[in-house]
Structure 1
């Protein structure tokens, strides 16, 4: 954000909260978050940070409101159209306030909370939940660059330091491993959860949008899907001030853009051979008791 003095904003400290690492920006409104009253037609987008949240949020917004309220696309930033439920960010209304005041039906809401901390009313109301997962290596790289430019996050230090923290689960919103596995397990007993993979979306966005429509019970023409796919192309979203987060005051775009590359396999430019071997061994241990499988290249 132009003219914002980043030196005046001290980075938050990480602390243990409800069994995971957190910062106060996501716990300051905790009681209201936990007591949030979901409605049966609410749609919750859940992800680990930097796994494709904004991408899927924008797809949903276009699917539901692209034709009926086109002015939304050019005048309201995505973080106001799809509020971040647990967030308490300086100069913005709280996520809960934004969600409660959404004029749309359905309400589109996003969260990074692990499955066990999602407000109970979403499950009680049988809301549709869309979870997006991204392979751990690319997710770690993206999170590292995000933490470098986002002053609402702790300082990540250098890459090797950050990677170790990622492996130890000492990132905001806790361990990646528990997060992706938690929702995968929930999906086995909760039929209204659609589990998506970032890699599948990069490989074939149209197919994934079609699968999403099928889950949501929406009928869209191939022309409509083509239009949406074009709008949500990474380069288009990166240039779009309503989707690229350039209007939010806590992110320093001179360090790194919010939307950096959106690719699969960028981790190869960051991991050393030794880091990769160590990571693979650790990953195998952490993920041995799950049927969940990821692709680190396509």
Structure 2
């Protein structure tokens, strides 16, 4: 009997996928997920929770600078703090306060987060833009197997179909957004802030200030402006390519722009056909009409 993971691979994924509980996940992280709920956390841990390609790098770097109190890039890039793929020992070596990021749903995360009432930040983006950016990543990234073959070798139409069905790594962006939107209701005692990619594009200084105040690290307004400037798309891309330690970089196909493609909003209109967009919208509405999803 086929699973959504196997169907995803039939659609064009060379990246190995498998089911974890009822979700499609990259096989390479499943051994981490099996112990995730019982992992220990620290009281001052900060969790950045996103669907892939929704502004993770951006917000993680902003928070790193806010905690440092100055517009200085962290030595390592954000994958050094990836909860889903780093061992507990690797994460234990990070100094406090740790800024950890994850693409997991709330129900898969360490229970200690809720008990210790850690600060949780959810970053969201227009889901169609996230799909486009994820497609470009998967067709250019070698991922964990280090081979020269891209993680996804199918067509854009194949990818949209797989995404709508949730047959992709980290499952459906629609269910992911729904679960995180419900987070304040499910965990009312946990400090929670939701940030939107589009708001960061519109007024990054204001969003930097919101983030700083949320984690109780207020700074002079001038420093907010400096951090926002240092974390602009072009400067952050340059830092990741030429300044930061490259230890935790994944493999990319030659000529790829890597994690930093355009950093724009609305590019989905150049990719989705009218029929694909309408189908996506129908599934979006159907997903949000099912209040029993968790």
Question: In the alignment, does 2:40 pair up with 1:42?
Answer: no
Indicate the larger mover: 200-209 or 235-244.
235-244
Shift in Å, 1:112: 0.7
Counterpart mapping for 1:233-244 below 5 A? 233-240=232-239, 241=241, 242=243
Question: In the alignment, does 2:30 pair up with 1:16?
Answer: no
State the SS of the aligned residue for 1:260.
coil
Counterpart mapping for 1:150-165 below 5 A? 150-152=141-143, 154-155=151-152, 157-165=154-162
2:91 matched residue in structure 1? 99
Counterpart pick for 1:127 among 113, 118, 126:
118
User: Partners in 2 of 1:245 and 1:171 — Cα distance?
Assistant: 27
Question: In the alignment, does 2:162 pair up with 1:148?
Answer: no
Distance 1:28 1:77, change over 3 A: same
Contact in 2 for aligned 1:244/1:258 (Cα 8 Å)? no
Question: In the alignment, does 2:77 pair up with 1:85?
Answer: no
TM-score with structure 1 length normalisation?
0.83
1:4 matched residue in structure 2? none
Q: Structure 2: which 5+ runs fail to align?
A: 1-12, 145-150
Q: Structure 1: which 5+ runs fail to align?
A: 1-9, 88-93, 291-298
TM-score with structure 2 length normalisation?
0.84
Contact in 1 for aligned 2:61/2:74 (Cα 8 Å)? no
Contact in 2 for aligned 1:21/1:174 (Cα 8 Å)? yes
Shift in Å, 1:246: 9.3
User: Partners in 1 of 2:259 and 2:17 — Cα distance?
Assistant: 21
Shift in Å, 1:251: 2.6
1:7 matched residue in structure 2? none
User: Partners in 1 of 2:180 and 2:160 — Cα distance?
Assistant: 23
Contact in 1 for aligned 2:45/2:119 (Cα 8 Å)? yes
Indicate the larger mover: 278-287 or 55-64.
278-287
User: Partners in 1 of 2:103 and 2:157 — Cα distance?
Assistant: 24
Contact in 1 for aligned 2:209/2:224 (Cα 8 Å)? yes
RMSD: 2.3
Distance 1:219 1:192, change over 3 A: same
2:9 matched residue in structure 1? none
State the SS of the aligned residue for 1:172.
coil
Question: In the alignment, does 2:55 pair up with 1:64?
Answer: no
2:282 matched residue in structure 1? 281
State the SS of the aligned residue for 1:281.
helix
